[in-house]
Amino acid sequence: MSLQELKNIKLQELNLNEMRDLTTEIIDNKTKKLKGELQELLVQKELLEKSLEKKSAELQEAKYTIFNDIESAINKDDVQTLSKLHQIKLQSIDLFDILSETVEGAIITAIEKSKDSEAKESIQEVIKELTYQTIKEGTLNTIRVRKILSTILHSSIEIAEATPNTSEDILEATLKGMRAGLLESIDRFKKRLAYMPLEAKHILIEDYDTIMEDLNQTDTLFLQVVQTQANESDPTIRKILLDLNKKMHYDLEELIHISKETAQVMKERFSTLAKTAVKKADTALKSETAKEAKRMGIQAWGVAKTALESAIKSAKGVIEPKDK
Protein backbone atom coordinates (compact mmCIF):
# COMPACT_ATOMS: atom_id res chain seq x y z
CA MET A 1 0.00 0.00 0.00
CA SER A 2 1.38 3.41 -0.99
CA LEU A 3 1.31 6.58 1.09
CA GLN A 4 -1.29 8.07 -1.25
CA GLU A 5 -3.56 5.05 -0.73
CA LEU A 6 -3.09 5.38 3.00
CA LYS A 7 -4.28 9.01 2.88
CA ASN A 8 -7.55 7.86 1.33
CA ILE A 9 -8.34 5.65 4.33
CA LYS A 10 -10.21 7.14 7.28
CA LEU A 11 -7.96 5.80 10.01
CA GLN A 12 -10.12 7.21 12.79
CA GLU A 13 -12.97 4.92 11.71
CA LEU A 14 -10.91 1.72 11.96
CA ASN A 15 -11.23 -0.55 14.97
CA LEU A 16 -8.18 -2.12 16.62
CA ASN A 17 -8.15 -5.29 14.48
CA GLU A 18 -8.59 -3.33 11.24
CA MET A 19 -5.78 -0.95 12.27
CA ARG A 20 -3.54 -3.95 13.12
CA ASP A 21 -4.23 -5.62 9.73
CA LEU A 22 -3.49 -2.40 7.90
CA THR A 23 -0.22 -1.69 9.68
CA THR A 24 0.87 -5.35 9.34
CA GLU A 25 0.27 -5.19 5.58
CA ILE A 26 2.28 -1.97 5.27
CA ILE A 27 5.15 -3.30 7.43
CA ASP A 28 5.27 -6.59 5.47
CA ASN A 29 5.42 -4.74 2.15
CA LYS A 30 7.97 -2.16 3.23
CA THR A 31 10.30 -4.59 5.05
CA LYS A 32 10.03 -7.64 2.80
CA LYS A 33 13.53 -7.17 1.38
CA LEU A 34 15.11 -6.53 4.80
CA LYS A 35 13.43 -9.60 6.28
CA GLY A 36 14.76 -11.72 3.42
CA GLU A 37 18.28 -10.39 3.92
CA LEU A 38 18.05 -10.97 7.68
CA GLN A 39 16.89 -14.55 7.15
CA GLU A 40 19.81 -15.20 4.80
CA LEU A 41 22.25 -13.84 7.40
CA LEU A 42 20.71 -16.03 10.11
CA VAL A 43 21.16 -19.10 7.92
CA GLN A 44 24.76 -18.09 7.23
CA LYS A 45 25.32 -17.53 10.97
CA GLU A 46 24.02 -21.02 11.78
CA LEU A 47 26.21 -22.59 9.11
CA LEU A 48 29.21 -20.60 10.34
CA GLU A 49 28.62 -21.68 13.96
CA LYS A 50 28.41 -25.32 12.87
CA SER A 51 31.55 -24.90 10.80
CA LEU A 52 33.41 -23.27 13.73
CA GLU A 53 32.33 -26.08 16.04
CA LYS A 54 33.46 -28.70 13.53
CA LYS A 55 36.81 -27.00 12.89
CA SER A 56 37.38 -26.59 16.64
CA ALA A 57 36.83 -30.32 17.14
CA GLU A 58 39.15 -31.10 14.19
CA LEU A 59 41.81 -28.83 15.70
CA GLN A 60 41.56 -30.69 19.01
CA GLU A 61 41.85 -34.05 17.26
CA ALA A 62 44.84 -32.80 15.25
CA LYS A 63 46.55 -31.74 18.49
CA TYR A 64 45.91 -35.15 20.05
CA THR A 65 47.41 -36.89 17.00
CA ILE A 66 50.48 -34.64 16.97
CA PHE A 67 51.18 -35.17 20.68
CA ASN A 68 50.67 -38.93 20.34
CA ASP A 69 53.11 -39.02 17.40
CA ILE A 70 55.70 -37.07 19.39
CA GLU A 71 55.20 -39.33 22.41
CA SER A 72 55.69 -42.45 20.28
CA ALA A 73 59.15 -41.13 19.36
CA ILE A 74 60.17 -40.88 23.03
CA ASN A 75 61.55 -43.81 24.99
CA LYS A 76 58.88 -45.02 27.44
CA ASP A 77 61.48 -45.18 30.21
CA ASP A 78 62.44 -41.52 29.69
CA VAL A 79 60.09 -40.25 32.40
CA GLN A 80 61.53 -36.72 32.49
CA THR A 81 61.06 -36.06 28.75
CA LEU A 82 57.56 -37.58 28.78
CA SER A 83 56.67 -35.39 31.74
CA LYS A 84 57.76 -32.26 29.85
CA LEU A 85 55.72 -33.29 26.82
CA HIS A 86 52.63 -34.00 28.94
CA GLN A 87 52.93 -30.62 30.61
CA ILE A 88 53.06 -28.91 27.21
CA LYS A 89 50.08 -31.01 26.06
CA LEU A 90 48.12 -29.93 29.12
CA GLN A 91 48.82 -26.30 28.26
CA SER A 92 47.95 -26.73 24.57
CA ILE A 93 44.70 -28.73 24.67
CA ASP A 94 41.39 -26.97 25.39
CA LEU A 95 40.39 -28.67 28.63
CA PHE A 96 36.97 -27.13 29.31
CA ASP A 97 34.90 -29.59 27.25
CA ILE A 98 36.78 -32.68 28.46
CA LEU A 99 37.43 -31.53 32.02
CA SER A 100 35.37 -34.16 33.85
CA GLU A 101 37.06 -37.11 32.10
CA THR A 102 40.50 -35.50 32.46
CA VAL A 103 40.09 -35.02 36.21
CA GLU A 104 38.84 -38.58 36.66
CA GLY A 105 41.77 -40.03 34.71
CA ALA A 106 44.28 -37.83 36.55
CA ILE A 107 43.08 -38.77 40.04
CA ILE A 108 42.87 -42.50 39.27
CA THR A 109 46.37 -42.42 37.78
CA ALA A 110 47.70 -40.54 40.83
CA ILE A 111 46.21 -43.18 43.14
CA GLU A 112 47.45 -46.13 41.09
CA LYS A 113 50.96 -44.90 40.37
CA SER A 114 51.83 -43.16 43.64
CA LYS A 115 52.73 -44.64 47.00
CA ASP A 116 50.03 -44.19 49.64
CA SER A 117 51.99 -41.39 51.28
CA GLU A 118 52.50 -39.58 47.97
CA ALA A 119 49.04 -40.02 46.40
CA LYS A 120 47.53 -37.09 48.29
CA GLU A 121 50.28 -34.70 47.17
CA SER A 122 50.07 -35.99 43.59
CA ILE A 123 46.30 -35.41 43.46
CA GLN A 124 46.67 -31.91 44.90
CA GLU A 125 49.32 -31.00 42.35
CA VAL A 126 47.44 -32.40 39.34
CA ILE A 127 44.17 -30.71 40.40
CA LYS A 128 46.01 -27.44 40.87
CA GLU A 129 47.42 -27.69 37.33
CA LEU A 130 44.08 -28.67 35.78
CA THR A 131 42.24 -25.87 37.61
CA TYR A 132 44.81 -23.28 36.55
CA GLN A 133 45.08 -24.40 32.92
CA THR A 134 41.29 -24.57 32.43
CA ILE A 135 40.53 -21.21 34.05
CA LYS A 136 43.25 -19.38 32.13
CA GLU A 137 41.85 -20.61 28.78
CA GLY A 138 38.96 -18.14 29.01
CA THR A 139 37.53 -15.19 30.89
CA LEU A 140 37.72 -14.82 34.66
CA ASN A 141 34.03 -14.59 35.53
CA THR A 142 31.93 -16.16 38.27
CA ILE A 143 29.72 -18.38 36.09
CA ARG A 144 32.64 -19.92 34.20
CA VAL A 145 34.88 -20.37 37.27
CA ARG A 146 31.99 -21.86 39.25
CA LYS A 147 31.34 -24.40 36.49
CA ILE A 148 35.02 -25.38 36.32
CA LEU A 149 35.36 -25.81 40.09
CA SER A 150 32.05 -27.70 40.30
CA THR A 151 33.05 -30.06 37.48
CA ILE A 152 36.41 -30.82 39.09
CA LEU A 153 34.95 -31.41 42.53
CA HIS A 154 32.06 -33.52 41.18
CA SER A 155 34.47 -35.82 39.34
CA SER A 156 36.58 -36.11 42.49
CA ILE A 157 33.50 -36.97 44.57
CA GLU A 158 32.59 -39.82 42.20
CA ILE A 159 36.03 -41.38 42.73
CA ALA A 160 35.89 -40.74 46.50
CA GLU A 161 32.56 -42.57 46.68
CA ALA A 162 34.11 -45.57 44.90
CA THR A 163 37.13 -45.63 47.26
CA PRO A 164 35.73 -45.00 50.78
CA ASN A 165 39.02 -45.82 52.52
CA THR A 166 40.77 -42.88 50.87
CA SER A 167 37.78 -40.60 50.23
CA GLU A 168 38.78 -37.93 52.76
CA ASP A 169 42.35 -37.72 51.43
CA ILE A 170 41.08 -37.48 47.82
CA LEU A 171 38.60 -34.71 48.64
CA GLU A 172 41.01 -32.73 50.81
CA ALA A 173 43.71 -32.90 48.14
CA THR A 174 41.15 -31.85 45.50
CA LEU A 175 39.99 -28.81 47.47
CA LYS A 176 43.55 -27.70 48.18
CA GLY A 177 44.47 -28.16 44.52
CA MET A 178 41.41 -26.20 43.38
CA ARG A 179 42.25 -23.37 45.77
CA ALA A 180 45.88 -23.25 44.61
CA GLY A 181 44.88 -23.34 40.93
CA LEU A 182 42.33 -20.56 41.39
CA LEU A 183 44.88 -18.47 43.28
CA GLU A 184 47.47 -18.93 40.52
CA SER A 185 44.90 -17.97 37.86
CA ILE A 186 44.01 -14.74 39.65
CA ASP A 187 47.69 -13.92 40.21
CA ARG A 188 48.33 -14.45 36.48
CA PHE A 189 45.41 -12.17 35.65
CA LYS A 190 46.83 -9.48 37.94
CA LYS A 191 50.22 -9.63 36.22
CA ARG A 192 48.66 -9.55 32.75
CA LEU A 193 46.68 -6.39 33.56
CA ALA A 194 49.88 -4.38 33.07
CA TYR A 195 50.46 -5.71 29.54
CA MET A 196 46.91 -6.26 28.34
CA PRO A 197 46.45 -5.47 24.60
CA LEU A 198 44.02 -2.77 23.49
CA GLU A 199 41.33 -5.22 22.31
CA ALA A 200 41.36 -7.06 25.64
CA LYS A 201 41.18 -3.76 27.50
CA HIS A 202 37.98 -2.99 25.61
CA ILE A 203 36.41 -6.26 26.79
CA LEU A 204 37.74 -5.67 30.31
CA ILE A 205 36.21 -2.19 30.48
CA GLU A 206 32.85 -3.49 29.29
CA ASP A 207 32.83 -6.07 32.12
CA TYR A 208 34.59 -3.81 34.63
CA ASP A 209 31.90 -3.79 37.34
CA THR A 210 31.24 -7.54 37.04
CA ILE A 211 34.93 -8.47 37.25
CA MET A 212 35.46 -6.15 40.23
CA GLU A 213 32.51 -7.74 42.00
CA ASP A 214 33.74 -11.25 41.19
CA LEU A 215 37.24 -10.51 42.50
CA ASN A 216 35.80 -9.35 45.81
CA GLN A 217 33.98 -12.62 46.42
CA THR A 218 36.30 -15.42 45.22
CA ASP A 219 36.38 -16.96 48.71
CA THR A 220 32.57 -16.98 48.87
CA LEU A 221 32.40 -18.55 45.41
CA PHE A 222 34.81 -21.30 46.44
CA LEU A 223 32.94 -22.15 49.64
CA GLN A 224 29.58 -22.09 47.82
CA VAL A 225 30.81 -24.61 45.25
CA VAL A 226 31.87 -26.99 48.04
CA GLN A 227 28.57 -26.47 49.90
CA THR A 228 26.49 -27.12 46.77
CA GLN A 229 28.36 -30.30 45.87
CA ALA A 230 28.11 -31.49 49.49
CA ASN A 231 24.35 -31.02 49.45
CA GLU A 232 24.11 -33.21 46.33
CA SER A 233 26.28 -36.02 47.75
CA ASP A 234 25.56 -39.03 49.95
CA PRO A 235 25.66 -38.49 53.77
CA THR A 236 29.24 -39.76 54.24
CA ILE A 237 30.76 -37.57 51.51
CA ARG A 238 28.55 -34.68 52.58
CA LYS A 239 29.94 -34.78 56.14
CA ILE A 240 33.55 -34.94 54.89
CA LEU A 241 33.02 -31.98 52.54
CA LEU A 242 31.25 -29.86 55.15
CA ASP A 243 34.02 -30.54 57.70
CA LEU A 244 36.67 -29.66 55.12
CA ASN A 245 34.70 -26.57 54.11
CA LYS A 246 34.79 -25.30 57.71
CA LYS A 247 38.57 -25.74 57.76
CA MET A 248 38.90 -24.00 54.38
CA HIS A 249 37.47 -20.80 55.91
CA TYR A 250 40.84 -20.34 57.59
CA ASP A 251 42.86 -21.42 54.53
CA LEU A 252 41.45 -18.87 52.09
CA GLU A 253 43.28 -15.80 53.41
CA GLU A 254 45.88 -15.92 50.63
CA LEU A 255 43.13 -16.24 47.99
CA ILE A 256 41.27 -13.26 49.49
CA HIS A 257 44.51 -11.24 49.63
CA ILE A 258 45.52 -11.86 46.00
CA SER A 259 41.95 -11.21 44.80
CA LYS A 260 41.79 -7.85 46.58
CA GLU A 261 45.27 -6.95 45.29
CA THR A 262 44.12 -7.74 41.73
CA ALA A 263 40.93 -5.70 42.19
CA GLN A 264 43.05 -2.76 43.39
CA VAL A 265 45.39 -3.00 40.39
CA MET A 266 42.42 -3.14 38.05
CA LYS A 267 40.80 -0.17 39.79
CA GLU A 268 43.99 1.92 39.54
CA ARG A 269 44.53 1.11 35.86
CA PHE A 270 41.04 0.92 34.42
CA SER A 271 38.55 2.81 36.60
CA THR A 272 39.12 6.04 34.63
CA LEU A 273 38.65 4.24 31.31
CA ALA A 274 35.54 2.53 32.67
CA LYS A 275 34.08 5.90 33.72
CA THR A 276 34.82 7.28 30.25
CA ALA A 277 33.01 4.30 28.75
CA VAL A 278 30.00 5.03 30.99
CA LYS A 279 29.98 8.65 29.77
CA LYS A 280 30.04 7.43 26.16
CA ALA A 281 27.17 5.09 26.95
CA ASP A 282 25.31 8.03 28.46
CA THR A 283 25.90 9.98 25.25
CA ALA A 284 24.63 7.00 23.28
CA LEU A 285 21.34 7.30 25.17
CA LYS A 286 20.75 10.46 23.17
CA SER A 287 21.06 8.57 19.85
CA GLU A 288 18.09 8.10 17.51
CA THR A 289 17.66 4.46 18.58
CA ALA A 290 17.63 5.44 22.25
CA LYS A 291 15.18 8.27 21.53
CA GLU A 292 12.92 5.82 19.73
CA ALA A 293 13.12 3.41 22.66
CA LYS A 294 12.16 6.22 25.02
CA ARG A 295 9.35 7.23 22.67
CA MET A 296 8.04 3.65 22.66
CA GLY A 297 8.18 3.59 26.45
CA ILE A 298 6.02 6.70 26.61
CA GLN A 299 3.67 5.19 24.01
CA ALA A 300 3.41 1.96 26.01
CA TRP A 301 2.47 4.01 29.06
CA GLY A 302 -0.14 5.82 26.94
CA VAL A 303 -1.65 2.52 25.78
CA ALA A 304 -1.86 1.29 29.37
CA LYS A 305 -3.39 4.60 30.49
CA THR A 306 -6.02 4.48 27.72
CA ALA A 307 -6.88 0.87 28.57
CA LEU A 308 -7.23 1.78 32.26
CA GLU A 309 -9.43 4.80 31.51
CA SER A 310 -11.57 2.64 29.24
CA ALA A 311 -11.95 0.00 31.96
CA ILE A 312 -12.92 2.67 34.53
CA LYS A 313 -15.42 4.18 32.10
CA SER A 314 -16.98 0.76 31.43
CA ALA A 315 -17.16 0.05 35.16
CA LYS A 316 -18.90 3.36 35.77
CA GLY A 317 -21.34 2.56 32.98
CA VAL A 318 -22.32 -0.63 34.79
CA ILE A 319 -22.55 1.02 38.22
CA GLU A 320 -24.39 4.26 37.28
CA PRO A 321 -27.61 2.64 35.94
CA LYS A 322 -27.93 0.81 39.25
CA ASP A 323 -27.62 4.12 41.12
CA LYS A 324 -30.43 5.59 39.09
Helix (H) or strand (E) holding 175: helix 167-193
Q: What is the pLDDT of residues 49-79, one digit of tens each?
A: 888 778 877 887 888 788 889 988 989 888 8
Q: Which residue has the higher pLDDT, 113 or 25?
A: 25
Residue type, 61: E
Q: Is there a contact between 173 and 120 (Cβ–Cβ < 8 Å)?
A: yes
Helical spans, DSSP H, in 98-166: 99-113, 116-136, 142-162
Secondary structure letter of residue 93 according to DSSP? S
Q: What is the pLDDT of residues 242-256, one digit of tens each?
A: 999 888 876 788 888
215-227 mean pLDDT = 87
Q: What is the pLDDT of residues 273-307, one digit of tens each?
A: 545 544 454 454 455 555 655 555 555 656 565 66
User: Can you tell me the distance from the alpha carbon of 62 to that of 185, in angstroms, rounded to the nearest whole number?
Assistant: 27
Q: Specify the pLDDT at position 277.
A: 46
> Residue 119 pLDDT more than 70?
yes
Q: What is the pLDDT of residues 5-17, one digit of tens each?
A: 777 788 888 888 8
The pTM assigned to this predicted structure is 0.62
Percentage of residues in the chain having pLDDT higher than 90: 17
Q: What is the pLDDT of residues 154-213, one digit of tens each?
A: 999 999 999 888 899 999 999 999 999 999 988 888 887 777 665 555 556 556 677 777
| Cα–chain center distance at 276 | 26
Q: Which residue has the higher pLDDT, 220 or 268?
A: 220
Distances (CA, A) of 138 to 25, 103, 209, 254, 310: 47, 18, 18, 23, 55
Q: Which residue has the higher pLDDT, 91 or 24?
A: 24
Q: Specify the pLDDT at position 3.
A: 62
Evaluate the CA torsion angle 206, 207, 213, 218 in order and state its sign.
Answer: negative
User: Can you tell me the distance from the alpha carbon of 119 to that of 90, in angstroms, rounded to the nearest whole number?
Assistant: 20
